[in-house]
Every structure is written in C-alpha cells, then in structure tokens.
C-alpha cells in the first residue's frame, strides 16, 4: 500500500512512498489532486474512492511524471503554464473552460486533455488531444492550447484543429481554439500553418519582456512559482464563423489578456501552489469535499 510518510518531506510538502520508492509533492498541490479526484469520481458516477485508492492514484501519477522528466526537476522540461489570470481572461472573454494540453499537476479546470491518460483519468483527463478514435470530440466550444514547444507537436496539432474547424464550419457550430506557442515565424512550419490558417481570426505577438509563465515544476518547487518568458509568444485565435460571432477578438479583450500575461516572479517571493478555477468545468460548483480540499490552495 502507498504510505503518506509524515515528516519525511520538507515543510510544505508531502511524501508518498511505495516500498523504498518515494515521490514528493507540495501540500497545496496534493490538496488540488484530492479535489480533482473527487470531482472526476462524482462526474463518472463512481463510488467515492477510499483514502488508500486516492493515495495509490496520486503516487502513480507523481511517479509517472517524475520518471518522464528523468526523476529530478532538472532532468527534463516540465512544461510551463499560463498564469491563472490568463485563464480567467480567456474564460471571461472567450468562453474557454478546457485545456488541450495539460496534466493534473498544472490544469486550471477539472476537465482537460493530457499525455498520460492511464494515470491522469482518475483526476479528470479526457485523454490525449490527438486521440481521434474514442477521444474527446471537440465538436463545439472554446478551448485553450498551449502545447509542448516541439515543432512536430505544433504541426500535428494544427492539422487536427484544421479538420475539426472544417467540420464545425460545415455544421454551423461554434468552435474556437486559442493557441499559445513561441513566436517562430522563420523556423516552424506549424507556426506558419497557424498564421496562414483559413480560420485565423487574429494573431498577437507578445514581446519577451512583457510576459511570463507559471513554473512547469510548480507541484514540487517551494520557491517562486513564476518565471520570466525566454522568447516572444504568439497567440492565435482560430474560429469557425459562428464562433467569431459569439466570441469576437476585440482590442479590449486582447489588452486584458496581455495584462494578465505580465511577469509576476517578483510578486511571489514565497511561492504559491496551483489551484482549480472557481467552480467546475462548465462553471458549476464542485462537490462539497472537493471544495474543501481545494480551499487552502492559492490561485494558479
């Protein structure tokens, strides 16, 4: 059985162990995982998992992501995330309530696509964005996409979005993707395809000095959770005609998003953990126990 070893981790963290193998996580992120687990269980109609089952799922999740980055924070690139204020602006102005590329460790909403569905599903993952057989349909709605900054991934993402948007256009449905990637005009076929997309409503370039991100290893770092950007960023709005009518990309909305992107590392010297947005994936209220579990976590 997985054991929660009290006092085995530094203050502010928990350590989950299975035999001689242990993984650590910030206490506030552990509370977030507990909240996600409760919401996902309620959404699927499953019986409330026992404490042992929740601990086992948390251990499996943390061990997988630890192994994926080389079992150390510097062993690989945990993908940086947007500030919580960015997600709030996207939700308020463009109806975004789901991420196409996230994990239980950095998601903003209880429903998201992720890389490892086998360990992520108990926490709300609907599978990989690239799963076109049995995965999430993306028939309509508004979605944020901040994919791994890999040319192959970006190009593959653009191709799938193009197919989805063509289907929405033909069906008269509202479908919107807000895509956030590095500004790569001279070295990325994927970037060029997004910039020249038939569904592009707007493209905005945010200079390096004017924005920052949330640390990719936010679930483990006890110091500042913010980092400055290391590149200019491109934000693309891809929309069907109906989506353009419902969620127009105005100058005022772009200005609010840029303000939300502003660097924050100097504002957070002590570090603050990631948390879920207020309410559920569709704006509803999560289960009582989930709200209680998330209550102590600071905004992401």
Q: How sure is the predictor about 3, in pLDDT bands with cuts at 50, 70 and 90?
A: low
Sign of CA dihedral 293, 267, 226, 98: positive
Burial (CB < 10 A; 0-12, 13-18, 19+), residue 164, is buried
Q: How sure is the predictor about 293, in pLDDT bands with cuts at 50, 70 and 90?
A: very low
pLDDT tens digit sequence for 31-82: 999 999 999 999 988 888 888 899 999 999 999 988 887 655 444 445 667 8
Please give the model's pTM, rounded to 2 decimal places.
0.83
Beta carbons within 8 Å of 164's beta carbon, 6+ residues apart: 138, 139, 175
Please state whether beta strands 226-228 and 200-206 pair in parallel, antiparallel, or not at all (unpaired).
unpaired
pLDDT value for 289: 32
- Alpha-carbon span 210 to 161, nearest angstrom: 28
Domain segments of the chain as ranges: 3-74+285-294, 84-267
Q: Does domain 84-267 have CATH number 3.30.160?
A: no
First to last CA, the chain: 31
Q: Residue 122 — left, alpha, or beta (φ > 0 → left; ψ -120 to 50 → alpha)?
A: alpha
Among the listed residues 166, 161, 197, 160, the one whose alpha carbon sits nearest the alpha carbon of residue 177: 161
Q: Which helix (H) or strand (E) holds 232?
A: none
Q: Residue 134 — left, alpha, or beta (φ > 0 → left; ψ -120 to 50 → alpha)?
A: left
Question: Three-state SS for 3?
Answer: strand
Q: Phi, psi at residue 267, to the nearest 5°?
A: -90, -5
- Alpha-carbon span 235 to 264, nearest angstrom: 19
- Alpha-carbon span 16 to 31, nearest angstrom: 13
pLDDT tens digit sequence for 68-91: 876 554 444 456 678 889 999 999
pLDDT tens digit sequence for 126-184: 999 999 998 999 999 999 999 998 999 999 999 999 999 999 999 999 999 999 999 99
Contact 243/74 with Cβ under 8 angstroms?
no
């Amino acid at each position: 059985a997985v054991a929660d070893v009290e006092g085995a981790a530094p203050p502010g963290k928990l350590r989950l162990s299975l035999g001689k193998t242990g993984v650590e996580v910030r206490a506030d992120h552990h509370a977030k995982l507990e909240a996600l687990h409760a919401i996902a269980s309620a959404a699927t109609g499953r019986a409330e998992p026992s404490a042992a089952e929740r601990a086992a799922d948390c251990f499996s999740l943390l061990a997988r992501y630890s192994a994926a980055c080389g079992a150390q924070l510097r062993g690989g690139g945990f993908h940086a995330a947007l500030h919580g204020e960015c997600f709030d602006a996207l939700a308020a102005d463009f109806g975004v309530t789901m991420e196409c590329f996230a994990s239980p460790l950095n998601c903003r909403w209880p429903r998201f696509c992720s890389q490892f569905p086998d360990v992520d599903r108990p926490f709300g993952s609907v599978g990989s964005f690239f799963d076109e057989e049995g995965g999430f349909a993306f028939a309509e709605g508004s979605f944020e996409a901040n994919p791994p900054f890999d040319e192959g991934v970006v190009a593959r993402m653009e191709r799938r979005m193009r197919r989805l948007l063509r289907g929405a256009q033909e069906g008269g449905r509202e479908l919107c993707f807000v895509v956030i990637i590095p500004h790569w005009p001279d070295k990325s076929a994927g970037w060029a395809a997004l910039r020249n997309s038939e569904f592009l409503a707007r493209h905005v370039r945010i200079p390096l000095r004017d924005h920052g991100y949330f640390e990719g290893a936010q679930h483990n770092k006890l110091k500042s959770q913010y980092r400055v950007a290391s590149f200019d960023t491109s934000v693309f709005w891809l929309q069907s005609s109906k989506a353009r009518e419902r969620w127009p990309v105005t100058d005022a909305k772009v200005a609010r998003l840029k303000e939300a992107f502003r660097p924050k590392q100097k504002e957070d010297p002590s570090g603050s953990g990631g948390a879920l947005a207020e309410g559920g994936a569709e704006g509803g209220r999560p289960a009582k126990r989930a709200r209680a579990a998330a209550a102590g976590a600071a905004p992401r």
